[in-house]
Amino acid sequence: MYGWRGRIGLMVPTGNSVMEPEFQRLAPDGVTTHANRVELKDVTPASLREMEADVARSARQIAQTRVGVIAFGCTSGSFVGGAGYDERLIGIIEGETGVAATTTTTAVIRALQALRVGRIALATPYTDEVTRLEVDYLQANGFEVTDWRGGGIVGVAEIQDCPPEVSYRRARAVDSDRAEAVFISCTGFRTIENIALLEADLGKPVISSNQATYADCLRILGVGEARPGFGSLFERLRDPGAPPPPLADGNIAAQ
């Protein structure tokens, strides 16, 4: 039986061609991902809010694959409504299906808390309007955004077409000594092959939307590992009591 160790139900925006392949690269033995779509026209605040109307339908359909967790796999679509909006989406999914749920934004907050960092640099492919909404969301959840940079992209397909060097360079551009971690946002922004490289180059934790979402799904499933080589966040799965990774200056991230 496929998914004998755990099955992830993944709700991704129409046009997202990155999240499923990245989940497959992260998967340990016995864990499978089963995806469904949620309608998204473009990456604007209005269209992102419209996604909510399609959440219940997508969740009901994906629950038929007998998954152990359902993830709403869109970062901007789960922060666009402000603080607490991710919890609203989780409530819709769990109410429709009875299956434990998470969102990418929820997972990112949990990842930052697990790494015990408080000051983060933010790299996105979004317009400044959408990126500022994310900055507001992160700050409302107690994180200081030391610097941020978007890519000005509105089209969903255009984000998927960005080669991995784009996210690598943007992450390096926003980093500074003040930042305790770097967060690369957007489930359609190709980043998975960059995380370990960036951590080696910057000397601090780096998380991405897809990495954080997958880690949260594994946590909910009770699976304590992912494939190695995709960042220090997964070390927290194996040893939740381990100290946070050292920063570039040799200090330890804020408790």
Per-residue pLDDT at 243 exceeds 90: no
Q: What is the pLDDT of residue 254?
A: 34
Contacts of 73 by beta carbon, 8 Å cutoff, 6+ apart = 10, 11, 12, 13, 16, 19, 104, 187, 210, 213
Residue 122 inside a domain? The answer is yes
Q: What integer is the mean pLDDT of 140-153?
A: 97
Per-residue pLDDT at 246 exceeds 50: no
Residue 157 inside a domain? The answer is yes
* pLDDT tens digit sequence for 59-108: 999 999 999 999 999 999 999 999 999 999 999 999 999 999 999 999 99
- CB of 144 closer than 8 Å to CB of 236: no
Residue 248 inside a domain? The answer is no
Q: Which domain holds residue 87?
A: 6-238
The whole model's pTM is what? 0.92
- The CATH number of residue 158's host domain is 3.40.50.12500
Residue 245 inside a domain? The answer is no
Residue 141 inside a domain? The answer is yes
* pLDDT tens digit sequence for 182-196: 999 999 999 999 999
* pLDDT tens digit sequence for 119-144: 999 999 999 999 999 999 999 999 99
Backbone phi, then psi, for 140, in 5-degree steps? Answer: -65, -25
Q: What integer is the mean pLDDT of 169-192?
A: 98
Mean pLDDT of the chain: 93
Q: How many structural domains is the chain composed of?
A: 1
